[in-house]
């Protein structure tokens, strides 16, 4: 019989699991990045009923090999060039484990002071590290909080903006308008719907897939003319499709003029801002009301770890704070502490800051900067090579780690190349921009080295 609460067994099983993870990560290169698996195949391996008595941990480890791994798409594979990276790293994995081991809930400062204070402190570190406005520190009027996802951050921004607009204008949400680009992530439109905006406008983009300020200006004028209430605009620093960068400063100036809340979605590209040379892409941040980026995409930190900053925390807290008697306590009543439950929708919260703190300490700032620079340099080398080959057209600039290109023979040739690259053992996805099919090569997986990108380049050359 096994005893799931026996701490000596836990110790042994834990060591075995860490060994297993190290084997898994170290062996990924020898596996297909996308396991061939048919719908229902994984489930068919599972027993119809749960066991009546406890099983040994060894049985679960064996099923990781037999049931789980053959049914995965390996996001940590060095040949992962699909979507965006969802980085994980040994220090982040250990941080996750430590957080689970501590098992605390940090919804209030008083329910685990260290969880709140480390989170505030690490996000204040990031303010300096990324060169975003000093006022966003928790020691200033703003502050940062970890959310599960950039979608949550953006949805929260939309809700706060709605309340700010309501207080200023008295307008009902149904008459409010949220603006973003047609290239924006679907979370902006979804959040507009969730928050009850009457209208979400997806603005047309220019040749570089960015919103032109005049387009926003015209849309606001049209809406004002028919009695609607412009309330919110989201500018993307790095769209999901092609990593296009909206002009933050120009959009911010229009937002100021019309009292719109300016939210910045830098979910993917935000991590690059730890390197000073990429910060021009977000010039004008002092005009922003909120900002989100995912350390869980490109900053070596396991999902979930999305940073959400606000320039002024008062409207956020005013919108989300409801204090039932069972959550009252002296520290909160005295207003001396941050209670992160008032900074997002859920009450309970994981100790997410631990893994981010460990990542920053393990890599060091320079280690993380070197990683980002290596990815971007690899992407720019691939971009430059594609531009020398007249079979291919690079359809968007490559400011970060994503290369967007197509086959000049048309959509069918482009789709066929995606299929051949996937068959050749690379995870790549296609997309569509301005009605044309294109290929996204996203470089930034933790274990991807230059040789893996070179292998991809040879495959493109051979199969293109």
Ligand X SMILES: *Cc1c(COP(=O)(O)O)cnc(C)c1O
Options 111, 181, 301, 306; binder of ligand X; rule CB under 6 A: 306
Give the closest residue to 460 by CA, choosing from 401, 382, 376, 394: 382
Options 75, 136, 268, 400; binder of ligand X; rule CB under 6 A: 268
C-beta of 305 vs 337, nearer to ligand X: 305
What three-state secondary structure class fits 226? coil
Site string for ligand X, 85-124 (x = CB under 6 A): ----------------------------------------
User: Is residue 176 within a helix (H) or strand (E), and if so which, with residue range?
Assistant: strand 176-181
CA 117/CA 302 separation, integer angstroms: 21
C-beta of 158 vs 228, nearer to ligand X: 158
DSSP calls for 117-151: HHHHHHHHHHHHHHT--GGGSTTSS-EEEEES-HH
- Binders of ligand X in range 236-255 (CB under 6 A): 236, 238-240
Cβ atoms of residues 236 and 246 within 8 Å: yes
CB atoms within 10 A of CB 459: 19
Give the binding-site size for ligand X (rule: CB under 6 A): 15
Q: How far is the CB of 318 from ligand X (least distance, A)?
A: 25
Q: Quick one: which segment of 172-180, 234-242, 407-415, 455-463 binds ligand X (CB under 6 A)?
A: 234-242
Q: Does residue 448 belong to the site contacting ligand X (CB under 6 A)?
A: no
**How are strands ordered across the β-sheet holding 229-236?**
143-147, 306-310, 290-294, 261-265, 229-236, 176-181, 199-203
Options 151, 301, 414, 442; binder of ligand X; rule CB under 6 A: 151
Q: How far is the CB of 246 from ligand X (least distance, A)?
A: 11
Determine if residue 227 is left, alpha or beta; phi over 0 gives left, psi from -120 to 50 gives alpha, anything else beta: left
Options 108, 267, 305, 396; binder of ligand X; rule CB under 6 A: 267
Q: How far is the CB of 301 from ligand X (least distance, A)?
A: 12
- C-alpha count within 13 angstroms, C-beta hemisphere, residue 30: 5
C-beta of 176 vs 236, nearer to ligand X: 236
Tokens for 347, please give them. Answer: 């009450």
Cβ atoms of residues 371 and 363 within 8 Å: yes
Q: How far is the CB of 280 from ligand X (least distance, A)?
A: 18
C-beta of 344 vs 407, nearer to ligand X: 344
Q: Does residue 13 belong to the site contacting ligand X (CB under 6 A)?
A: no
What three-state secondary structure class fits 396? coil
Q: How far is the CB of 241 from ligand X (least distance, A)?
A: 9
Options 294, 332, 442, 446; binder of ligand X; rule CB under 6 A: 294
Q: Does residue 187 belong to the site contacting ligand X (CB under 6 A)?
A: yes
Q: How far is the CB of 155 from ligand X (least distance, A)?
A: 9
CA 71/CA 96 separation, integer angstroms: 23
- Binders of ligand X in range 70-89 (CB under 6 A): 84
Q: How many residues does the chain have?
A: 464
- C-alpha count within 13 angstroms, C-beta hemisphere, residue 19: 8
Q: Does residue 264 belong to the site contacting ligand X (CB under 6 A)?
A: no
C-beta of 268 vs 392, nearer to ligand X: 268
DSSP for residue 84: S
C-beta of 140 vs 397, nearer to ligand X: 397
How far is Cα of residue 238 from the mean position of the Cα atoms in its chain?
Answer: 11
Positions touching ligand X (CB under 6 A) are: 84, 149-151, 185, 187, 236, 238-240, 265, 267-268, 294, 306
């Amino acid at each position: 019989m096994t005893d799931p609460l026996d701490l000596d067994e836990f110790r042994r099983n834990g060591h075995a699991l860490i060994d297993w993870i190290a084997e898994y990560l170290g062996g990924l290169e020898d596996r297909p990045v996308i396991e061939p698996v048919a719908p229902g195949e994984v489930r068919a391996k599972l027993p119809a009923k749960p066991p009546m008595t406890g099983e040994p941990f060894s049985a679960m480890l064996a099923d990781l090999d037999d049931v789980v791994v053959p049914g995965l798409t390996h996001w940590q594979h060095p040949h992962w060039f699909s979507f965006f990276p969802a980085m994980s790293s040994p220090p982040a994995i250990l941080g996750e484990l430590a957080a689970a081991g501590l098992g605390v809930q940090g919804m209030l400062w008083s329910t685990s002071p260290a969880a709140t204070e480390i989170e505030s402190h690490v996000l204040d570190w990031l303010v300096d590290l990324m060169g975003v406005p000093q006022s966003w520190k928790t020691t200033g009027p703003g502050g940062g909080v970890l959310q599960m996802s950039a979608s949550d951050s953006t949805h929260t921004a939309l809700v706060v903006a709605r309340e700010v607009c309501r207080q200023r204008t008295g307008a009902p949400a149904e008459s409010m308008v949220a603006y973003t680009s047609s290239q924006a992530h679907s979370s902006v439109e979804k959040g507009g719907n969730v928050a009850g905006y009457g209208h979400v406008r997806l603005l047309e983009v220019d040749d570089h897939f960015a919103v032109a300020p005049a387009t926003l200006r015209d849309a606001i004028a049209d809406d004002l003319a028919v009695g609607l209430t412009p309330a919110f605009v989201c500018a993307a620093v790095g769209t999901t499709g092609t990593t296009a960068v909206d002009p933050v400063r120009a959009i911010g100036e229009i937002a100021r003029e019309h009292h719109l809340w300016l939210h910045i979605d830098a979910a993917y590209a935000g991590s690059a801002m730890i390197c000073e040379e990429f910060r021009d892409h977000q010039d004008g941040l002092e005009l922003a009301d909120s900002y989100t980026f995912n350390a869980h995409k490109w900053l070596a930190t396991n999902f979930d770890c999305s940073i959400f900053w606000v320039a002024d925390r008062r409207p956020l807290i005013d919108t989300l704070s409801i204090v039932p008697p069972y959550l009252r306590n002296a520290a909160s009543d005295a207003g001396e502490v941050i209670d992160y439950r008032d900074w997002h929708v859920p009450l309970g919260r994981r100790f997410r800051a631990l893994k981010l703190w460990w990542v920053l300490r393990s890599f060091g700032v320079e280690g993380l900067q070197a990683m980002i620079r290596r990815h971007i340099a690899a992407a720019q080398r691939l971009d430059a090579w594609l531009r020398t080959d007249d079979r291919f057209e690079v359809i968007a600039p490559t400011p970060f780690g994503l290369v967007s290109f197509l086959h000049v023979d048309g959509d069918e040739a482009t789709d066929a190349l995606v299929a051949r690259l996937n068959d050749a053992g690379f995870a790549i996805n296609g997309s569509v921009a301005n009605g044309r099919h294109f290929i996204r090569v996203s470089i930034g997986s933790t274990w991807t080295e230059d040789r893996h990108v070179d292998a991809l380049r040879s495959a493109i050359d051979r199969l293109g």
